[in-house]
Amino acid sequence: MPVTTLPPAQQHRCNNGTPCCLVLPAMNPAPHTLATVQAALVTHRVWSQLDAATLEALVPRWQLEASDVGTTLLPQGRLHSRTGLVISGAVDLHDPDLDMAVHLLPGDMFGFGATPAQHLTTWQATAAADSHIAWLDADTVTALCRDHGALAYYFPSLPIAGPPPAATAAAAAAVQPAGSGVHLNLLGTPVRALIKREPITLPPDTSIRAAALQMRDLRVSSVLLVEQGHLFGLVTDRDLRNRVVAQGLDIDRPVSDIATLAPITLQAQSPAFEALLLMARHNIHHIPVMDGARIAGMITATDLAEQHSTSAVYLAGDVYKQITVEGLARVSAKIKPLQQHLAAADASAYSTGHIITTITDALTTRLIHLAEAQLGPPPVDYVWVAAGSQARSEQTAKSDQDNCLVLDDRYHEALHGDYFRAFSRFVCDGLAECGYIHCPGEMMAMTDKWRQPRQRWAQYFQQWVDTPDPMSLMLTCVFFDLRAIHGKVELLESLRSEVLQRTRGNSLFLAHMVGNALKHRPPLGLFGTIARIRGGDNAGTIDLKHSGIVPIVDLARVYALAGGTAAVNTHDRLEVASVAGEVSAQSARDLRDALEFLSKLRIAHQAGQMTQGQPPDNFLALEELSNFERSHLKEAFSVVQTLQGVLGQRYQTGRY
């Protein structure tokens, strides 16, 4: 189809900032398309108010599309990109996080300007029936409302103040409150929705020169290497720069010589949030997308950037660029604003915990890189392991550090002790510089006791399980929640497997663990009233962490130990435990909902403190809550209290 060139100010911009592909359809579309759109506009309650000449000139600027039922028309975070008019069929607007929905019929409008600002970035549009939708770009809507003032009445989220935006991205930014952090609403957007084109593939034996020409001609930053229908590798423009040009490599060699083989992939139905996490954790910018075994396409950090979704990716990228501890400390100062933005965007506690923890993982990994650069390569294999909230991916901006080091059994104290002592001290002190204070209980890798060969760790766990005294139970709570951050992962995984075999069905040990878990009780008094802290610096408040969140973490840990479950995140443990029969599906859902509610209260409370320049804590005054929130707080505490009672009774009666 021929296209019409826009004025330079209205042209879409490619990644390098230059004008590129045109965004409007031709001014002479097929007659039946013109007629369909025109018939809808001249009888429409809004568009029919335009004079005949303006309406006639406007008709060709609409793009009519047919969509099957179930098609995602605009994913979450993209409603601001254009305005839709339902010509036939029906459209559902849906907020996947809040489970709210609106049903639209022919004549209804949605998207840029038409959807209220508070919903514009969190709702998504899906065809509720086989439908025809007419689309109008945001710049045209803005210009029309500027020239025809009465029209703006029907577009409540239109950015009216100030000069008109020159591009859709500017329009989207203008309708958002400052610091809203809307760029992080990715849970409801499937990766499939971010794919822009069919995958660009080449055989592995293609020359480097031919691959570079293909990437240039198609204006892509990567190609996939495919052999007999199977994904073989990935080549990016960074590979061409670093592995070819910088190394002076012969460009007639096969492109497989510079490829990343067996690259990390995502399934098409995965939420885009997972792509953000993978990019941040692995410091990568391209992820192949699979539909089962079939290659569906490629998404890049730029694709996420167009959704305003890569702040965590870029923050992690910033981490890996630093060459000093001081530089890492400067970058880590951005974690608190990141949590504030997440809270303002109403991101779930589950996603917030994963995002904040991802940055901690990146800081830890970069400190390990710097330590090895200073001290030389490690003399034996090791794995750096996170414990506690970092291991569970449940961190907030207020965190101390819990970590340990599992060394290969070839470790010899006389030969290797000095290296790993200096190594662990460097990393732990570096984390402290970045705001993760040293653990008050010294449960860190720089403490000799928690820097041991794998065999010694196995002895630790055997002793804790076989002799469950109070100290052993406390240490089990800390060190059963472990996740490998860097190094030889097999050292931890084999250890975890042995521990789970020892705990699964071990009724004596589990009974002691339950007794220990029941020491943390929700603050419910007689008749279901919330009991506040009576004395001390935090009198009159409730401790959201130790009285609300920790009891749920403890319950989930017991379920995992009883069922031999390797999951570490509390939400994931509850989900797996319900499948394994350790807790009913309904009770698991109730606990997950309670955890989400309490965690979001904690995150919002801390974000408010940081906004006021106060250090974040876990102590919430009930006056901060509405009556509605207080009611839900009581229900959340009641759920925890009930399931604590069920678990306690189960083990007291010797059910296991």
pLDDT at residue number 610: 84
Asked whether residue 38 is domain-assigned, the answer is: yes
pLDDT exceeding 90 applies to what percent of the chain?
A: 49
The CATH number that applies at residue 380 is: 3.30.460.10
Question: Domain span at residue 378?
Answer: 311-496
Q: What pLDDT score does 596 carry?
A: 93
Upper half-sphere CA count for residue 267 (Cβ side, 13 Å): 4
Segment 9-14 long-range contacts (CB within 8 Å, at least 24 positions apart): 9/166, 10/139, 10/166, 10/167, 12/167, 13/167, 14/219
Band of residue 120 on the pLDDT scale cut at 50, 70, 90: confident
Please state the pTM of the whole predicted model: 0.58
pLDDT tens-digit map of 452-507: 999 999 999 999 988 888 888 888 888 889 999 999 999 999 999 998 888 887 88
Summarize the confidence of residues 158-168 as an average pLDDT: 41
Q: Do both 294 and 315 map to the same domain?
A: no
Looking at residue 625, its pLDDT comes to 85
Among 64-68, 157-161, 362-366, name the one with the lowest average pLDDT. Answer: 157-161
With 80 as the cut, is the pLDDT of residue 9 above it? no
CB atoms < 10 A from the CB of 11, how many?
A: 17
Same domain, 108 and 129: yes
| Residue 333: burial class (beta carbons within 10 Å; 0-12, 13-18, 19+) | exposed
Domain end (from 269, 288, 305): 305
- Please tell me whether residues 140 and 231 are part of one structural domain: no
Supply the CATH number for residue 622's domain. 1.20.120
Look over the chain and give the mean of its residue pLDDT values, rounded to a whole number.
84
Instruction: Judge if 300 and 315 occupy the same domain.
Output: no
Task: Name 208's bridge partners.
Answer: none
90's tokens: 């029906």
Q: What was the pLDDT predicted at 258? A: 95
Q: What is the pLDDT of residues 582-626, one digit of tens each?
A: 999 999 999 999 999 999 999 989 988 887 888 889 999 988 888
Least confident of 173-187, 254-268, 317-331, 479-493: 173-187
With beta carbons less than 8 A apart as the criterion, state whether 189 and 307 touch: yes
Give the pLDDT band (50/70/90) at residue 141. very high
| Domain harbouring 150, CATH code | 2.60.120.10
The CATH number given to whatever domain includes residue 297 is 3.10.580.10
Per-residue pLDDT at 176: 33
Residues 250 and 393 in one domain: no
Which range is least confidently modeled, 300-309, 351-360, 587-596? 300-309
**579 and 543 assigned to the same domain:** yes
Q: How many CB atoms lie within 10 A of CB 521?
A: 15
- Residues of the chain with pLDDT > 70, as a percent, come to 87
Whether 239 has a pLDDT exceeding 60, the answer reads yes
Amino acid identity for residue 499 in this structure: V
CA–CA separation, 351 vs 603, rounded Å?
Answer: 12
To which H or E segment does residue 456 belong?
helix 454-466
Q: What is the total count of domains within the chain?
A: 4
- 300 and 327 assigned to the same domain: no
Question: What span, in angstroms and rounded, lies between the C-alpha atoms of 637 and 594?
Answer: 8
Predicted pLDDT of residue 197: 82
Question: Which 3 state secondary structure label does DSSP give 653?
Answer: coil
Q: What is the dihedral of CA 67, 70, 72, 73, to 10 degrees?
A: 40
Q: Residues 6 or more apart from 490 whose CB is under 8 A from it?
A: none
Determine the pLDDT at residue 188.
54
Residue 512 inside a domain? The answer is: no
Q: Is the residue at 3 inside a domain? A: no
Residues 83 and 211 in one domain: no
Overall average pLDDT of the 294-306 stretch: 80
Q: CA nearest 303: which of 263, 266, 351?
A: 266
pLDDT digits (tens, 9 = 90+) for 379-401: 999 999 999 999 999 998 778 89
Secondary structure element (H or E) that encloses residue 521, with its range:
none
More confident residue, 320 or 452: 452
Confidence of residue 364 (pLDDT cuts 50, 70, 90): very high
Distances 53 to 42, 49, 442 between C-alpha atoms, Å: 12, 12, 77
pLDDT higher than 60, residue 16: no
449 and 530 share a domain?
A: no
Contact 599, 353 (CB under 8 A): yes
More confident residue, 196 or 213: 213
Q: Is residue 511 domain-resident?
A: no
Q: Say whether both 554 and 584 belong to one domain.
A: yes
In this prediction, residue 23 carries a pLDDT of 32
415/477 same-domain check:
yes
Supply the pLDDT for residue 406.
97
**Got the DSSP string for 135-185?**
EEEHHHHHHHHHHSGGGGGG-TT---SSSPPSSHHHHHHHTSPTT--GGG-
How far apart are the C-alpha atoms of 112 and 74, rounded to whole Å? 11
How far is the C-alpha of 630 from the C-alpha of 542, rounded, in Å?
A: 12
The total of other beta-carbon atoms located within 10 Å of residue 360's CB is 24
Q: Is the pLDDT of residue 628 over 50?
A: yes
HSE, CB side, 13 Å, CA atoms: give it for residue 526. 0
Of the residues 290, 305, 320, which one is the last residue of a structural domain? 305
Q: How confident is the model at residue 25 (pLDDT cuts 50, 70, 90)?
A: very low
β-pairing, 451-453 vs 403-407, is parallel
From 85-94, 361-370, 647-656, the region with the lowest mean pLDDT: 647-656
Is there a domain that residue 182 lies in? no
What does the pLDDT read at residue 1? 33
**Residue 501, domain member (yes or no):** no
Which of 256, 275, 305 is the endpoint of a domain? 305
Is there a contact between 205 and 177 (Cβ–Cβ < 8 Å)? no
Confidence (pLDDT) at 320:
85
Same domain? 213 vs 339: no
Residue 187 lies in a domain: no
279 domain-assigned: yes
